Amino acid sequence: MTAPVFVTDGPLTGARAGSSLTLDGAEGRHAVSVRRLRVGEEVVLTDGAGTGAAGTVAAVEGKDRLVVTVDAVRSEPPAAPRITVVQALPKGDRGEVAVETMTETGVDAIVPWAAARCITQWKAERGAKSLGKWRATAREAAKQSRRLWIPEVGEPMGTAAVAKLLAGAAFAGVLHESGTEPLAAVPLPVEGDIVLVVGPEGGVAPQELEAFAAAGARPYRLGPTVLRTSTAGTAAAALLLTRTGRWG
């Protein structure tokens, strides 16, 4: 059986073989009370920032605390090029579906975008709750896919802020049916930031395309079919990860 993964509250920069680590709080409660881990079982702890420690449960304390003896430590540098998907807000739970599958695929950052044609709008308490769900989804999906880096889910952006983000990228693009060049054929950088915009179900508005074009982001097509906004980012990420060699 594969060892379960849990996220620590702090960095694991000081972890080494033979040392002890403590897992408590919500993750400790899940390990002890839900997964019912016992002494002698194997676990993996990660700080979500590139470091993971494989170890063995040495002690179970109460209902929410594990002591783990570290067997081995592994670190991963930040991926290059870094892939960010600007995701327009979908309806219902499709936002969490998009975040979950993009995280499992390997996206490094996700930016919620309040596009003009989004039916869903994040406002006040509802917006904060929705953002919290996206971040929790990314965290759980990273654990499930055994990633040492948890994708950053940024604060929601409007079109002007997205344009600024695109302007600073090594490569910037918009998935759109008006694109005459396939994303599969465009030259890609070997380092820096790749930023790709995924529009809402109603499509990217003309004024948004103009703003993004002015920032250096051209429209590209992904394939002969039109994907839903909740799946387009995942499909595009898989293509980019393959073409940049990160899936080599």
Q: Which long-range contacts (CB under 8 A, 24 or more apart) does 90-95 make?
A: 90/118, 90/120, 90/200, 90/201, 90/228, 90/229, 90/230, 91/119, 91/120, 91/201, 92/120, 94/228, 94/229, 94/230, 95/120, 95/130, 95/133, 95/134, 95/230
What does the pLDDT read at residue 178?
Answer: 87
CA distance 35 to 3: 11
Collapsed DSSP state (helix, strand, coil) of residue 139:
helix
* Residues in the chain, pLDDT under 50: none
For residue 177, the 8-state DSSP code is T
What does the pLDDT read at residue 248?
Answer: 81
- In sequence order, what are the residues at sequence separation of 6 or more whose Cβ sits closer than 8 angstroms to the Cβ of residue 25? 9, 64
Contact 234, 122 (CB under 8 A): no
Q: Which domains does the chain have, with CATH numbers?
A: 5-75 (2.40.240.20), 82-244 (3.40.1280.10)
Residue position matching structure tokens 């590139």 = 50
What's the pLDDT tens digit per position in 83-111?
Answer: 999 999 999 899 999 999 999 999 999 99
Contact 42, 55 (CB under 8 A): yes
CA distance 67 to 70: 10
What's the pLDDT tens digit per position in 39-66?
Answer: 999 999 999 999 999 999 999 999 999 9
Contact 81, 193 (CB under 8 A): yes
What does the pLDDT read at residue 220?
Answer: 97
What does the pLDDT read at residue 135?
Answer: 98
What does the pLDDT read at residue 1?
Answer: 67
Beta-bridge partners for 173: 196, 218
What does the pLDDT read at residue 243?
Answer: 96
Q: Would you give the distance in Å from CA 45 to the centre of its chain? A: 18
Contact 134, 159 (CB under 8 A): no
